[in-house]
Structure 1
Amino acid sequence: MPFNSIFAWVIKKRLHQIELFRKYPEDVQHELFEKLIEQGVQTVYGKQYHFHQIQTYSDFKELVPLNNYESMKPWIDRLMEGEQYLLWSQDTKWFAKSSGTTAERSKFIPVTRESLEDCHYKGGKDLLALYYENFPNRKLYKGKHLIIGGSAQVLPVADDAYQGDLSAIILKNLPWWAEIRRTPSKEIALMTEWEEKIERMARSTIEEDVYIIAGVPSWTMVLARKILEITGKSNLREVWPNLELFMHGGVSFEPYREAFRELIPFDDMHYVETYNASEGFFGIQDVDGSNELLLMLDYGIFYEFIPMYAFEETDSKIIYKLDEVELGEEYALVISTNAGLWRYIVGDTIHFTSKTPYRFKLSGRTRHFINAVGEEVIVNNTDYAITQACSKTNALIREYTVAPIYMDGKTQGKHEWLIEFDREPDDITRFMFLLDEALRSINSDYDAKRTRNLALGKPLLRILKPGSFDAWLQKKGKLGGQHKVPRLMNSREIVEQILQETEFETIDYA
């Protein structure tokens, strides 16, 4: 039997299991909860918080505290120093540098063999399974899979213990069935110098028969343009005739959609979104053309949800399990996992669009927001606004970030947008008008504060020279992999740093 046929058979078998948690989500989560507690009883953490007394979810809420990274860090530090069985019942020797921070101090998330195999690798297989469900009889396994991963640095803990981007940890431990179809070589994929890495990735893959690309949209665009520059081709299908799928995550795809349409101008090119963080693989787009993600319920992750109206980090009194959530309500995501994260607040916010099955949309961050005057702007608001403005002015963006200018006795409050364009708008004043109007249309609080410019003035735009965001990330030691500049910040710290280090043009359409 051809290997592609065997692979398709395995995929179809997995689809039956996915259908089980679509139909019986609460049962699957309850069974998983019991297994996690059984493992947790054997840990130092479990002994400290009396896991042996946990019989019900109510017991769990009463006995086990909510955690953020700061409260988990002492435990993780001890793991990185070589202690074992602190948070999980098996060895923990890998640590994923969090993609969700650009702070001076990196976060390191524990990764266990169980979380790799039962969560992250399972997510990769399920992504293909759900794609096959939408497009039967595809032959994806005939071609190569181009994976744009990060780099890994070895920790002086043991020969097989190390830290790095989650994508790098995944690459270093890939099962054989995935490794034989992956490109480029591990030597290139795990390089730390990103300028050279992009060059070598491009030159080593242009002769391959690539069917699938997986990566963060921004770095994938950089690689794609390098490939077109080297080959002289006008689009990626001229390089890879069988390319049909881009699996993406990390940031919203909407601001990049038109740019990818120019790179691959074909209607039969497909895009599948995932929600795969260092802490776990949480969601996959299971319906073609949808912007909703299916919550993956059998990956060794037990979910809880804090409504954002009641959110107090590590001290929230109102928290729900899966069967208690409401559609449309904004929730902070809380997880307990087979990597030893217990009641851990991820820092992302979601809202559910369906409960049969459970589908959701990412809406922002618990900390990445702007609320200078009560406008409560979140990331999906700004992604929508910039997508609308770009679409109507023929613009393409590379990156953006936004921060407030706080009002004082002399200065009116407003939002300051730092944007690096791949193609500038054909009318920059109209672009800013459309951006502002789109944001007003999707966020009633912002609209109220903008009314007659009473609380917020018109937004200010700084057009940054090409490479400005990458230069800032490089100075912070964060260039490459899954690292990114936060879209929104309620403080001006990062914006001020970037503006001090780059050239820019100011557009104030007031």
Structure 2
Amino acid sequence: MSIKSFGAKLFASIIHHKTKKWVNNPIETQQKVFQNLISEAKNTQFGKDHDFANIKAFEDFSKRVPIRDYEDLRPYFDKVVKGESDVLWKGKPLYFAKTSGTTSGAKYIPLTKESMPYHIEAARNAILSYIHETGNVNFVDGKMIFLQGSPILEEKNGVKLGRLSGIVAHYVPKYLQKNRMPSWETNCIEDWETKVDSIVEETINEDMAVISGIPSWVQMYFEKLSAKANKPVGEIFKNFNLFIYGGVNYEPYRAKFENLIGRKVDSIELFPASEGFFAYQDSQKEKGMLLLLNSGIFYEFVKADEFFTENPKRYTIGEVELGVNYVLIISTNAGLWAYNIGDTVQFTSLKPYRVMVSGRIKHYISAFGEHVIGKEVESALQEAMDGTSIRVNEFTVAPQINPSEGLPYHEWLIEFENEPDKLEEFALKIDAAMRKQNVYYDDLIVGHVLRTVIITKVQKNGFQEYMKSIGKLGGQNKLPRLSNDRKIADFFVKE
């Protein structure tokens, strides 16, 4: 065992015992975070506007601070971006993480000196947790690749600005710098396809042990690698045994990945965002990701089916239940207050608190009151593929409200790697799985309001072409699993 491997094992044990302390006291931990946030921000503009000085408990906070999204908080964000101090959090941010807004262009999410370390520690602790549980440590001596955005940062009114993954690239520990790939020059390439080609050239003859990124874009890298070497990724990188991912559910990609790699590899799921690093997979044996309750983030949860009602109940960590679809609301040491990040989660465990991402509150289909969410379509597709040779590269789902003939339906646009012999039978399997999960959808089928699922095949690399057409190829960009409109579907379906 190398010195680096021995050190990693020792460090993993230390972090494991530190983590257990707050894991075993979740409610107390969140209460301390809450009190600290209120105390630190009471003299900011936001704190004064919302009477933080008189907030003693969560009930006071929930009365004074409504749930908001970026657009609701824009007057405050605009002041921060213009260079004002002490607006949402004390002082000025260290960085702005630039993300794509859904309604009005770019969003600028502040990262502060208090919040930034938690982004780095969470990613590190996810790997250390894996080491502690499995004892697998040899990968620390191999090369590691992180498919991410460009680390080139701009400046806006004295604050550095970039994509979160590019900002984080500046914080890679020195002991990993020699192992880390690709080169700085390649990482700075903006065009995603050019960048991936360059990464293939740099890594194809290296001993890659850890590969990290959003599955859809890592898949592109694997396909180019395999085509160039004319052999599976697992033969190119014989010591590759750990895949780290976040942003989307890995399950729809798993069979395709195992085919590209030629064998199974362990994986670690992360739940990071520009707004905070919320959870990571702490066990290879248990379902879900450990919710990080001591990372400068105070969590609230609103039941998704109540979210759009007037004054929905806001739950704290001690009140949540298993299997309920919650909208995740956060208050953070970067100055986000009762902030709706748009993600929905379900708890898979309450001791410790583990979550799985179930979708986006704005990404759903309810054209007929069916309330279909991302987790349901992913599970239905997986169930339909189980025990078959069918493999899917990518997919999305949209309602067809006004078909040229017959009843309305849900249209599944699927890019197959290995397509089914009988497409209609496969569609019926998906439909049956959907009906088992979603009683509203089942009622609509039984009541002849909807007909069963229709599958439209998308040509090879079709979804990449779509993402490219809207300027979102690569990086942190993700294809929505489902939409309540036909903006994506109409790109592929010309009636």
TM-score range, shorter chain: over 0.9
- Structure 1 residues 248 and 303: alpha-carbon distance in aligned structure 2, compared to 1, 3 A threshold: same
State the partner residue of 1:399.
Answer: 394
Letter in 1 for 2:469: K
Say which SS state the counterpart of residue 114 (structure 2) adopts. Answer: helix
Shift of 1:71: 0.9
Q: Secondary structure at the match of 2:488?
A: helix
1:286 corresponds to which letter in structure 2? Answer: D
What does residue 253 of structure 1 align with?
250
Is there any run of 5+ residues in structure 2 with no aligned partner, and where?
A: none
* Cα distance in 2 for residues equivalent to 1:201 and 1:93: 30
List per-residue Cα deviations over 1:72-103 (Å, max 9, x = no partner). 2232233223223211214314222337x666
The answer on whether the counterparts of 2:412 and 2:456 sit within 8 Å (CA) in structure 1 is yes
The letter of the residue matching 1:445 is: Y
1:169 aligns with 2:170: no
| Aligned CA distance change for structure 1 residues 107 and 410 (closer, same or farther; 3 Å) | same
**Alignment check: 8 A CA contact 1:379 1:487 kept:** yes
Letter of the 2:146 counterpart: I
1:72 to 1:187, Cα distance in 2 relative to 1, 3 A: farther
- 1:215 is matched with 213
1:7 and 1:32 map into 2 onto residues whose CA distance is: 29
What's the CA shift for 1:242? 1.3
Q: 1:258 to 1:290 in 2, by over 3 A?
A: farther
- Find the aligned partners of 2:16 and 2:393 in 1 and give their Cα distance: 36
Decide whether aligned partners of structure 1 residues 172 and 102 sit closer, same or farther in structure 2, where only a CA change above 3 A counts: farther
Aligned to 2:125: 126
Match of 1:503 in 2: none
Task: Tell me if the contact between 1:21 and 1:298 (Cα under 8 Å) persists in the aligned partners.
Answer: yes
Residue 104 of structure 1: how far off its partner (Å)? 6.8
Shift of 1:154: 4.1
Please, which of 450, 459, 462 is the counterpart of residue 453 of structure 2?
A: 459
1:370 corresponds to which residue?
365
Q: Does 2:280 align with 1:284?
A: yes
Which residue type is aligned with residue 327 of structure 1? L
In the other structure, the counterpart of 1:308 is 304
1:37 correspondence with 2:41: no
What's 1:327 paired with?
322
User: What is the deviation of 1:378?
Assistant: 0.7
Deviation at 1:221, TM superposition (A): 0.9
* 1:243 matched to 2:240: yes
| Residue identity opposite 1:239 in structure 2 | I
**Is contact 1:394-1:426 (8 Å) kept?**
no
Counterpart position of 2:414 = 419
- Inter-partner Cα distance in structure 2 for 1:455 and 1:130: 49
Q: C-alpha separation between the residues in 1 aligned to 2:471 and 2:221?
A: 20
Q: Percent identity?
A: 35
Q: Tell me how far apart the structure 2 counterparts of residues 21 and 61 of structure 1 sit (CA, whole Å).
A: 24
**Are 1:148 and 1:215, in contact at CA under 8 Å, matched by a contact in 2?**
yes
CA distance in 2 between partners of 1:405 and 1:207 (Å)? 48
Q: What letter corresponds to residue 270 of structure 1 in structure 2? A: D
Question: 2-side partners of 1:98 and 1:80: how far apart?
Answer: 14
Answering whether residue 105 of structure 2 is matched by residue 143 of structure 1, we say no
SS of the aligned residue for 2:367 comes to: coil
Letter aligned with residue 294 of structure 2:
D
Query: What is aligned with 1:116?
Result: 116
Report deviation, 1:392.
4.5
Q: Is the 8 Å Cα contact of residues 153 and 167 (structure 2) preserved in structure 1?
A: no
Distance in 1 (CA, whole Å) between partners of 2:349 and 2:87 is: 37
Q: CA deviation at 1:312?
A: 2.6
* Contact 1:419-1:464 within 8 A present in 2 as well: yes
- What one-letter code is carried by the residue in structure 2 that aligns with 1:461? I
Equivalent position amino acid for 2:199 in 1: M
Q: Which residue of the partner structure matches residue 202 of structure 2?
A: 204
Q: Partners in 2 of 1:201 and 1:11 — Cα distance? A: 30
Number of residue pairs aligned between Structure 1 and Structure 2: 494
* Alpha carbons 1:102, 1:484 under 8 Å: kept: no
Query: Amino acid of the residue matched to residue 274 of structure 2?
Result: S
SS in 2 for 1:274: strand
Task: Rate the CA distance shift 1:180–1:27 in 2: closer, same or farther, 3 A.
Answer: farther
Identify if the C-alpha distance between structure 1 residues 187 and 85 changes in structure 2 by more than 3 Å, giving closer, same or farther: farther
Shift of 1:338: 1.6
Instruction: Tell me how far apart the structure 1 counterparts of residues 187 and 486 of structure 2 sit (CA, whole Å).
Output: 35
1:337 & 1:256 partners in 2: Cα distance? 32
Listed as ranges, the matches of 1:347-386 within 5 Å are 347-386=342-381
Q: TM-score, normalised by structure 1?
A: 0.91
- The equivalent residue for 2:107 is 107
CA distance in 1 between counterparts of 2:19 and 2:154 reads 37
Once residues 471 and 82 of structure 1 are traced to their aligned partners in structure 2, the CA distance between those partners, rounded to angstroms, is: 38
Give runs of aligned pairs for residues 14-33 of structure 1, distance below 5 A. 14-33=15-34
Question: 2 CA distance for matches of 1:82 and 1:177?
Answer: 35
The one-character-per-residue Cα deviations of 1:459-484 (angstroms, maximum 9, x if unpaired) are 22221222222222222221111112
Instruction: Check the 8 A contact 1:212/1:244 in 2, yes or no.
Output: yes
| Alignment-mate amino acid for residue 144 of structure 1 | K
Quote the offset at 1:429 in angstroms: 2.3
SS at match of 1:435: helix
Residues 296-347 of structure 1 deviation map (CA, whole Å, 9 limit, x = unaligned): 111111101112232138x534101111112222211100112111110111
Task: Please say if 1:67 is aligned against 2:63.
Answer: no
Instruction: Name the amino acid aligned to 2:277.
Output: F
Measure, in 2, the Cα distance between the counterparts of 1:381 and 1:136. Answer: 34
Contact 1:305-1:332 at 8 Å conserved across structures: yes
- The answer to whether residue 221 in structure 2 is matched with residue 226 in structure 1 is no
Report if the CA contact (8 A) 1:152-1:162 is conserved: no
Q: Does structure 1 retain, via aligned residues, the 8 Å contact 2:96–2:159?
A: no
**Structure 1 102/481 Cα, relative in aligned 2: closer, same or farther at 3 Å?**
farther
Greater mean deviation of Cα atoms: 253-262 or 55-64: 55-64
**Which deviations, in whole Å up to 9, do the C-alpha atoms of 1:197-222 show, x marking residues without a partner?**
01001111122222111111111111
1:159-182 per-residue CA deviation (whole Å, 9 max, x = no partner) reads 661122x21111133332443432
Q: Aligned AA for 2:162?
A: Q
**2:287/2:348 contact within 8 Å kept:** no
Paired residues of 1:306 and 1:320 also in contact (CA < 8 A): yes
* SS at structure 1 position matched to 2:238: coil
Q: 2:476 corresponds to which residue?
A: 482
Separation of aligned partners in 2, 1:420 and 1:78: 44
Amino acid of the structure 2 residue aligned with 1:59: D
Give distance in 2, aligned partners of 1:469 and 1:104: 24
Q: Distance in 2 between matches of 1:203 and 1:479?
A: 20
The separation in 2 between residues aligned to 1:137 and 1:156, in whole angstroms, is 41
Deviation of residue 155 (structure 1)? Answer: 3.8
Root-mean-square deviation over aligned CA pairs: 2.2
One-letter code aligned to 2:198: R
Aligned 8 A contact 1:469 1:498 in 2: no
74 and 389 in structure 1: CA distance in 2 versus 1, 3 angstrom threshold = same
**1-side partners of 2:104 and 2:50: how far apart?**
31
